[in-house]
């Protein structure tokens, strides 16, 4: 039976970052992420094998790409992070929590 879900329905206890897999098929994966102040450790960089298209549905987040300035993302902002483009999350809001939708795959972004 098909179950209706809502991207904005938050869990009752938001103590840790929450990852929910929505769909996986082939090399594509769609995830919902809820962040409440979590950031990437200072000495770590994400270095992913696949491209990641990410949209911030609610909240505010700051991303740092290696060798670049911090990018401030606000509700509705989206971007494509190419495979092996090193980046870190340096800020996520707590009120409201950050609600992300991320698609991992080999992607091409239309302008």
The predicted-structure confidence for 60-107, as pLDDT tens digits, reads as follows 999 999 999 999 999 999 999 999 999 999 999 999 999 999 999 986
The rounded Cα 98 to chain-centroid distance in angstroms is 9
Task: Return the CATH number at 69.
Answer: 2.60.120.10
The domain tally of the chain equals: 1
> How do strand 51-58 and strand 28-35 relate by DSSP bridges?
unpaired
Is residue 7 a part of any domain in this protein? no
Is residue 11 a part of any domain in this protein? no
The predicted-structure confidence for 6-56, as pLDDT tens digits, reads as follows 999 888 877 789 999 999 998 899 999 999 999 999 999 999 999 999 999
Is residue 92 a part of any domain in this protein? yes
Sorted by sequence, the CB contacts under 8 Å of residue 2 that are 6+ apart come out as none
| pLDDT value of residue 15 | 78
Is residue 5 a part of any domain in this protein? no
Determine the structural domain holding residue 55 and report its residue range: 18-105
């Amino acid at each position: 039976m098909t179950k209706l879900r809502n991207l904005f329905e938050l869990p009752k206890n938001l103590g840790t970052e929450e990852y929910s897999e929505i769909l996986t098929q082939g090399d594509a994966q769609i995830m919902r992420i809820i962040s409440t102040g979590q950031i990437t450790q200072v000495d770590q960089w994400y270095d992913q094998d696949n491209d990641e298209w990410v949209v911030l549905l609610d909240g505010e987040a700051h991303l740092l790409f290696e060798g670049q300035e911090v990018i401030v993302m606000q509700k509705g902002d989206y971007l494509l992070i190419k495979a092996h483009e090193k980046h870190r999350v340096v800020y996520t809001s707590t009120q409201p929590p950050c609600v992300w939708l991320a698609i991992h795959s080999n992607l091409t972004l239309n302008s």
